[in-house]
Each structure stands twice: as structure tokens, then as C-alpha cells.
Amino acid sequence: MKYIFLLALIGLTGFFIGQRSPEKKIDFLSAKLANGGNTMFKSGVKNGSWKTFVGIAEDDQPALVRSVIARIGLGANTNEEAIYLNAREDINGDPLVSNRNYQITVPAEIPVHEFWSITVYGNNHFLCNNPANKFAISSFHKLSKNPDGTITLYLGQHEMQPVSNWLPSSIIDEPISLTLRCYHPTASMLRDIESINLPTIKPIK
């Protein structure tokens, strides 16, 4: 009987939050379970503009959590494999929008053993349509670096120099979001995601 109730709960919550982003779904269900005395995830973490959830792919998550993750992120990596951080606001707390230009300063060292990438998404949570057909920038790319080793990326609708460091935004005027993927994070990142040095997102006036 409890499994029938669980399936029904998943179906009902899916009906109400089907049009929301994965982040909104997680927030909605976190609150729902918290009201019942349970914790949805081990922890939600915020670092500057970036947010993530820790432990969503672990085996010890309750059945409802695993069901939700299967629906919105099937095959989710454990934190030891990758950490995904999402940003919907700049350093001032203002929402990211496609018709504004931004400067993203990437630290000289993001604590990963493999590589990092930053991808831009439109309001529908899909890749942004842009004439350059360029959707992400990663440490694999040949990027122009500053003398101190930091990297200045530029986010905007129109081409910015150097082109290698330009991340095209949506050609439609709409809210956007960024996802920072950190593959095989170091022990220091796993230990304290809240205090490590992450890219800053600053609007260009």
C-alpha cells in the first residue's frame, strides 16, 4: 500500500510542477517532505551566484527522492564524479537576462582533477538558440588568460572579443541561467563547496 501511495504522490506532484525547472521541482518537493518531518537532500549549498544540492545521487536517499531524480536527471552523477552548480543571478542578486552583457571571471584554479565547463540555458531550460551555434565554454578550449591566470569570459547576445572567451546568450530576450559543471572535483571542493573560489558574474554597464 505504501508503494501505491508513493506512486500516487509522485504523479500528483508531477502534475503541479511539470512546467517548472528542475531546481523549482527540487525546492517544491523539499518543502513538501520537510513539512512531513523528512529532509529531501543532505544539503542545499549556495556560493555567490551559484547553487547546488549535495548527495542527490547517493544510494541512501529515500525512494521519493530517487524517483524525482530519475525523472528530472536520470543518471545523475555522484558528487565524487561531478558537481553541477546553477546560477540565475549576478553578483548583485539581479536575475540573469539575455539582453544584458556580463563578465564572468573564472579563478586561476577551479579545484577539479579533470575539467570544468559553463553552459548557458534559455528560459525553457534548453540550450539557447544563437547564430554562432556555441553553447558552452570549458577548460578544454583555448581561452585567453589574464596575467594572473584568471580567465575573463563574456556573456551576451552579440559577438565580444576575444571570440574564444565569448559565450553567446539567447537571441530571444528572456531570463537565462548558467550551469557550471566540475568534473572529478578535488577533496577540498567536496569538503567545503560553500567557501571555494567560484566564477563571479558581473553585469557590464
Residues 187 and 96 grouped into a single domain = yes
Give the residue numbers spanning the domain of 44.
2-76
Structural domain includes residue 22? yes
pLDDT tens per residue, range 51-92: 987 766 666 666 776 666 666 666 667 788 889 999 999 999
Using DSSP's 3-state secondary structure scheme, residue 30 falls into helix
Residues 65 and 93 grouped into a single domain = no
Residues 56 and 11 grouped into a single domain = yes
Residues 49 and 22 grouped into a single domain = yes
Residues 102 and 123 grouped into a single domain = yes
pLDDT tens per residue, range 129-184: 898 999 999 999 999 999 999 999 999 999 999 999 999 999 999 999 999 999 99
pLDDT at 24 over 60: no
HSE (side-chain half, CA atoms, 13 Å) at 176 = 30
Structural domain includes residue 82? no
- Please state the rounded mean pLDDT for residues 78-107: 94
What is the predicted pLDDT for the residue at 72?
Answer: 61
Our count of domains for the chain comes to: 2
